Structure 1
């Protein structure tokens, strides 16, 4: 972690990688280019400088996070150190918990048939697969 006040900031893609939101810096760059990251409610580019106090909106699949930058780092360290780089807002935590509970209650949105397909239904499924 860098607590040096002379450091102006860190690139957004490097910070997201160091904070362990993405496994590689390249994935962080792709997410930024794809519009999945906003800094202070504005679109972001990979080279945008992130500073302490900035608010980031991060979308990873169905997961949506709103975090405030607490510390800067250009180096990827262990997970406990990475968690110290940001603070997730209370509203974001509550929304993620609500979504997790909804997924649990709906069975993860998996539509399962009541029974196994019979011989006729199986043949229809096979014919459908052949046409695709």
Structure 2
């Protein structure tokens, strides 16, 4: 416990811990996984989970296809209420697209993507290709 207090007084924190504490992710492990997957950037550079952040850093987080851009205002390492979490960051995220635009984005029906192995065999048989 003393270790966490020392880190927050020093003015730095792990990026995975901070994005979890300010409620950008539901769990710390989800935050760490997003960092390892390249979905978290600090000052334009992909961040590893243990990267230290400080006030003034810009953090870009991609969650469920939506990019959130926040500037670190205050360092916290423990999860807090939504009102306090909002004071720890400045949200510079662009507004979400209107529902009409989101609905106009084409989506492929489930199962209409790449053919299965069985379907490929049937296609090869129809086209007279030799089976391997």
TM-score, normalised relative to structure 1: 0.69
SS at match of 2:10: coil
Distance 2:8 2:19 in 1: 20
Question: Match for residue 31 of structure 1?
Answer: 34
SS at match of 2:62: strand
8 Å CA contact 2:11–2:75 kept in 1: the answer is no
SS at match of 1:93: coil
Q: List aligned pairs for 1:108-119, cutoff 5 A.
A: none
Distance 1:80 1:17 in 2: 15
SS at match of 2:71: strand
Q: Flag the 1:101–1:14 CA change in 2: closer, same or farther, 3 A.
A: farther
Q: List aligned pairs for 1:1-132, cutoff 5 A.
A: 6-89=9-92, 92-94=93-95, 96=96, 98=97, 100=99, 102-103=101-102, 105-106=103-104
Per-residue deviation, 1:84: 1.1
Distance 2:99 2:69 in 1: 16
Distance 1:100 1:28 in 2: 28
8 Å CA contact 2:8–2:76 kept in 1: the answer is no
Gaps in structure 2 of 5+ consecutive residues: 110-117, 120-132
Moved over 2 A (4+): 98-101, 108-112
Per-residue deviation, 1:35: 0.3
Distance 2:24 2:8 in 1: 24
Q: Flag the 1:34–1:99 CA change in 2: closer, same or farther, 3 A.
A: farther
Question: Which structure: larger Rg?
Answer: 2
Gaps in structure 1 of 5+ consecutive residues: 113-130
Tell me how many residue pairs correspond in the alignment.
108
